[in-house]
Amino acid sequence: MKVFKYISGFLIFLAFTGTLYAQNQPAMGIEEVIVLALEKNFDIKIAKNNTVISKNNAEPGNAGYLPTVSLSAGYNYSSNDTKTEFADPSQPAIDANGAVTENLNADLKVSYNIFSGGSRNFTYQQLKNQSYQSQLEERQNIEQVVLEVINRFLEAVSLYDAFNISQESMQISLDRFERAKENYAAGNFSRLELLNAEVDLRNDSSNLIQSKLAYQKSLKTLNNTIGIRPDSSYNIKGDFDYQEDLTAGALIDKALEQNSDYLVSRTSLVNNELDLKINRGSLYPSLDFSGGYGFGKTSYDANFLNSTENLGWNAGLTLSFNVFDGGRVKRAMQNSQIRIESQQIAIEKTENTIKTNILNTYDDFVTNLELLALTQRNLESSTVNYQRSQEAFGTGQVTGLELREAQLNLINAKYDLSLQRIQTKLSEVSLYFYSGGLVE
């Protein structure tokens, strides 16, 4: 009686758990989740803001190409007890309590650097180069996010495959149990055969529940990586193709033109070279121009003058030259040169690492394609073997344990094929990542 209750309850569970696809929900494949991540991902949004900041900084005024203009105005008031005696006895002394003095002034000033040893030009070039580097770093960030999104998506596909395989395995075990129950009632099977079928059914139902949970958790992780609500609901499309005509040589050539790490490394070298030129500019004199227009008026209560007033232009040139600075500029130039040499080494290292990653990943990709074909053939053989074992089980030629072994071989073959599909796609995606072609 317990067995019948268990089967009845499990069939009810199966009715609610039979599919993970939501009705009337959009279906998304790799391309769709990438597009959504490019729009929603939090890290990408921050990286784009950093690029805007760097672009804002790459302006001529930030490098000193534009003059500075300042406007100032002021008013001062003072009240003092004043006593003034003059050397000329004919000039009467001034003796006043609470004498007020008022000063009013306003100035418009313009300053401009005429020459600074070329540092201004190199600073402007560096700002533009830093803006370009910021764009490359944004692309680096986007590529990392896209790679992670694809990994999380393929993980979800793998777990959904596992759920479907577990569901199929449970259905097979359920059919076997019902057949064993019928044969046991007819006296053709022993009690042990029925109990073995029931145990296998329980194990498969447990695997089904666990695989469902794992898939649901993977979707939440994928949603977080994309940048949408963790409980967002949609269906996933697990079908994808492989580009089997990839070649290692072409990928390496493309990487040296498009790989973000390599381009950032080369841009850093340009920054270091500009640093050297900027520091070298400090060896030359600097010529600055300043000019302005001012107004000033002072009124006195206790003075031989009632007021003074000034209004007019002023202009001047300032030539400055650093005669001795304790070797600061020389050390800065030496350090810049060392950084240039270090960055050249870093470029060589980056190039070598990229080539190594592409060659290794390409070998993985080719091998995975071969293994994919092999696992496909293995699944076909396991399917035929299970079908024959199932027929033999119906005629009593094989035992339930032997049928279970054929069933497990079939399930494992399906698992292997699913995992091999994912592994092959991951190696292909890694090739695009290393070659700089993941985000065109």
Helix (H, G, I), strand (E, B) or coil at 388: helix
The alpha carbon of 79 is separated from its chain's Cα centroid by a whole number of angstroms, namely 65
How far, in Å, CA of 363 to CA of 375, rounded?
A: 18
206 belongs to a structural domain = yes
Mean pLDDT of 84-102: 70
Q: Under DSSP, is residue 105 helix (H, G, I), strand (E, B) or coil?
A: strand
Neighbours of 398 (CB within 10 A): 18
Distances (CA, A) of 266 to 50, 257, 263, 273, 428: 20, 11, 5, 11, 26
Question: In this model, does residue 15 exceed pLDDT 50?
Answer: no
**163: enclosing H helix or E strand:** helix 119-185
How far is Cα of residue 248 from the mean position of the Cα atoms in its chain? 26
Residues 6+ apart with CB under 8 A from 341: none
Domain of residue 129, CATH code: 1.20.1600.10
What Cα–Cα distance (Å) separates residue 221 from each residue in 43, 86, 146, 232, 352? Answer: 15, 91, 14, 11, 34
Q: What is the pLDDT of residues 328-386, one digit of tens each?
A: 999 999 999 999 999 999 999 999 999 999 999 999 999 999 999 999 999 999 999 99
pLDDT tens digit string along 273-290? Answer: 999 999 998 889 999 999
Residue 304 token pair? 């031989």
CA dihedral (55, 60, 63, 68) positive or negative: negative
Its domain, for residue 218, covers 2-66+118-285+325-435
- For residue 104, tell me if it sits in a domain: no
Q: Where are the beta strands (DSSP E) in 213-325?
A: 235-236, 286-300, 307-320
**pTM of the model as a whole:** 0.85
Residues 145/330, Cβ–Cβ less than 8 Å = no
- The answer to whether residue 47 sits within a structural domain is yes
Residue 149 lies in a domain: yes
C-beta of residue 134 within 8 angstroms of C-beta of residue 55: yes
State how far the Cα of 37 lies from the Cα of 223, in Å rounded to an integer: 9
Angle at the Cα of 419 from the Cα atoms of 219 and 417, rounded to 5 degrees: 130
Looking at the domain assignment, is residue 249 inside a domain?
yes
Reduced to 3 states (helix: H, G, I; strand: E, B; else coil), residue 376 is helix
Q: How many CA atoms lie within 13 A of 127 on its CB side?
A: 20
Q: Determine, yes or no, domain membership for 365.
A: yes
Provide the number of structural domains found in the chain.
Answer: 1
Pick from 323, 430, 276: nearest CA to 366: 430
pLDDT value, residue 406: 92
Residue 225 lies in a domain: yes
Task: Express each pLDDT in 279-324 by its tens digit.
Answer: 998 889 999 999 999 888 877 665 666 677 888 899 999 999 888 8
Is residue 349 in some structural domain? Answer: yes
Beta partners for 288?
113, 318
Q: Is it the case that residue 1 has pLDDT exceeding 50?
A: no
Residues 6+ apart with CB under 8 A from 403: 176, 389, 390, 392, 393
